Amino acid sequence: MSAPGKTEPTEAIARARTGDADAWGVLYREYAAAIFRFCRRALPTREDAEDATIDIFAKLMRDNRLLQYDQSRSFTAWLYKVAANHCWDVLRRRKTRQDKETDDLENVPLEHPDPNQLDKLIEQRTSEEVRRALDKLGARARMALVMRYYSDMSYDEIADALGVRRAFVGVVLLRARHELRQALGQVGALAAGGTS
Amino acid sequence: MKEADNLSGDAAMRHLDEMTCLLYIERQLDRARAQEVSAHTQDCAACRTLLRALERESRLLTRAMLEEEEALPARLARFEERARRSMHWIWTLAFGLAATGVYALYTSYIKPWQVQLQEAGFSGSDLLSLLIFQGAFWKGWQSMITLLEVLALVTLAGFAVVFFRKRVRRSSALALILTGFCAALLLQPASAMASETRRGESVVVGPDETIKGDIFLFGERVRVDGTVDGDVFVFGHDVSVNGHVKGDVFGFAQQLRVNGQVDGNVRAFTNTLTISATVAKNVLTFDEAVNLESSGKIGGSLTIFVENLNLDGTLGKDLLIFAKHLALSGKVNGAIKMKGDTLTINSSAQVAGPISFEGNKEPEVSPQAKLVSPVDFHKMEHKPRYMEGHYYVWQVIWLAAFVLWLGIVPVDAPLCGGRGGERRTLRGLLWAGGARVFWSSDRGHNCMRNCGGLVRRDFHIFCLVRGSVLCPSHHWRRCGAVADGAHARDVALNRKNGRRTGDRPFGHRDSRRRRMDKIRCDLVGPRRNLTGAVRPLPTHSCG
């Protein structure tokens, strides 16, 4: 991952587009860790993440998919998008998607949390607990959260990757948060109140 | 947003729902709705608390995800190195087998030929020197560059190509370098080429002319009626040597007729060669048809790769022939060694030495022919010897050679400086293997149809070299840029949503995004450029 304030390795990207193996090495060393962490958050196991990371870079190198990259845009964002598509494909192939389909999401009643209890819950939880809770989420919920809060993808990009309409991305994210709270074991207290 | 729209109008009467709050902090609401939410939260403590809670939740999520609690697995760290190294064993195997093949080729074929050629009257230290660097092949070049220099330059050129392909990607630059190299090669020997050269559609050395030194003749029709006190190098369609050549004749021609006396050797690559006069020394020729007419006489030996040879004249020494058919009616003062299809010895034939014939059919020998011994006939075998071990050894060696020259070298990256990839290499291997199978079947067909012959059966290396030279090294590379599919989808999506390409969703100022960005900056730094000011979250409670 590019460090704060660092510019993207445009020269290496340009050389990699022409098939320079050394430039691919530079890009791999620069981005492999970030892509691995992304895959680690998105996929169920560490082995899956390793495989996915290798597959992503191998596919990029083999097909020289850098030719599809628009250089006027952020390379990091593009790379995350590729990774997100790959991870989602992996999950879909395994049929591990447990979320309801898009049409169902439209009618899902969203419980209104008690703001104070939610605030308290967030304050009490650690990053480690959140990561453990993330592992318990459904594939789509986890993918949505990872894409949004790890790789900072836009709603359009998330909709594109998950294959849902853009209007439902917010619903998916909200449901994911609810699942996360359930996983954190506080759903009862949070959903008890309702301020409406 | 739908949920947000449901709330418009009576926002002041009801608390904001969670979806609206989420969209608000995610900057996904339109400007008017965002202003309504902002105004509401200034008066409503519960909603303000919910907004803060959601924002803290977002921050917690981001922090939890961005924290690096796991080191990069060693497997990933080794991936690049392993990807490069994974095919090394194939390289080693291919090079090893290819080297073995070269050695076996030399010991099995070249060395016996050399012995046979020496027995046939060609004196020389080795076959290469015999064919290229002696007599007509070499005269005129002696003052230029030595064999060693040629090999050194070729090797250097090979390394230069590999080196510059890694660094100079533009084909024009590479072409310029190669052109310069070729020009340097051409300019260097120019000073040494002092021989006379004649070009034209019809080139004639008149009967009254006497050429001192070597002469190079290029033309559609070439006639040498005069005297050449040197060698004749002739390239043409219809060539006649009617005069007197005191040196050698070296000809590339559709038809070459030697009607005049040649004091030296004749080396020819022709379609039809006819000799009706005296050639004092040896003849080495690759042709479709050769006629040594009854008036023709070769003082030395005849080594010939041909389809049909009619020998009606006189041959001073041995005959070594690789041919489809030989009809012998003349006189041979030496031995005959032949590999081919059929041999016919007519009644007028005289052979002073032993005759060895390896062919498909029994030789037809006229009882009136004068032979010192019966023909030693061996029937040629065409079917691969599947039961013998060396058959498989050769198959592996040839496959390795194909893989090396037709598969990996043009396709794989490391040697050629391009990018690597296991799958592409494997694809190259498969392609090479397929080519090898196809070539084998084609060769088998030729063996059956043309009854073999060393030229057809065993000159595989010509096919290999030709294939490796002609094989385009960039055939796998995709030309031109490919449309950005994901980007195109973005554009379509934006168009569908009534937004222009590259627009970001409108973001209200009071957003969790700035805070998220700060967290992100603290951890890994900004990844996107955010536009627009962000309004601070209201802090006072609603009434």
| Identity of the residue numbered B253 | A
Q: Is A108 on the interface with B (CB under 8 A)?
A: no
| Identity of the residue numbered B96 | G
Q: Is A73 on the interface with B (CB under 8 A)?
A: yes
By C-alpha distance, which of A88, A156, A19 is closest to B486? A156
CB B166 within 8 A of CB B417: yes
What string of DSSP letters covers B484-543? -HHHHHHHHHHHHTT--TTPPPP--SS-HHHHHHHHHHHHT---S---S--PPPP-SPP-
Maximum mean pLDDT: which of A118-127, B121-130, B400-409, B439-448: A118-127
Distance CA B55, CA B62 (A): 11
Cα–Cα–Cα angle for B26, B30, B32, nearest 5°? 125
Output the six-digit token pair for B222.
């070439």
CB nearest to A130's CB, from B22, B60, B70: B60
Burial B344-366 (b: 16+ CB within 10 A, else e): bbbeebbbbbbbbbbbbbebebe
Q: Is A132 on the interface with B (CB under 8 A)?
A: no
- For residue range B498-542, what is the model confidence (pLDDT) as tens digits? 444 444 433 333 444 444 455 444 444 444 433 333 334 444 443
| 5-64 of A, contacting B, C-beta below 8 A | 5-6, 18-21, 24-25, 28-29, 32-34, 36-37, 40-41, 46, 50, 53-54, 57-58, 61-62, 64
- For residue range A70-89, what is the model confidence (pLDDT) as tens digits? 878 888 888 898 999 999 88
Q: Tally A–B CB contacts below 8 A.
A: 195
Distance CA A164, CA A176 (A): 15
Nearest-neighbour CA in chain B from A130: distance (Å) = 6
Per-residue H/E/C for B409-423: HHHCCCCCCCCCCHH
pLDDT at B495: 53
The residue count for chain A: 196
How far are the Cα atoms of A51, B48, B432, B466, B474 from residue B91, in angstroms, in the given order? 26, 67, 14, 21, 20
Mean pLDDT value of segment B422-427: 55
- For residue range A85-102, what is the model confidence (pLDDT) as tens digits? 999 888 887 764 444 444
What value of ipTM does the predicted structure carry?
0.80
Question: Which of helix, strand or coil describes residue B315?
Answer: strand
Output the six-digit token pair for B28.
């996904």
- For residue range B339-351, what is the model confidence (pLDDT) as tens digits? 888 899 998 999 9
pLDDT at B241: 92
Distance CA B4, CA B14 (A): 12
pLDDT at B520: 46
The residue count for chain B: 543
CB B313 within 8 A of CB B294: yes
Distance CA A20, CA B224 (A): 57
CB nearest to A196's CB, from B17, B23, B69: B17
Check the CA dihedral B442-B448-B449-B452 and report its sign. Answer: positive
CB B454 within 8 A of CB B286: no
Output the six-digit token pair for B218.
């290029």
Average pLDDT of every residue of chain B = 69
| 139-168 of A, contacting B, C-beta below 8 A | 145-146, 149-150, 152, 154-157, 159-160, 166-167
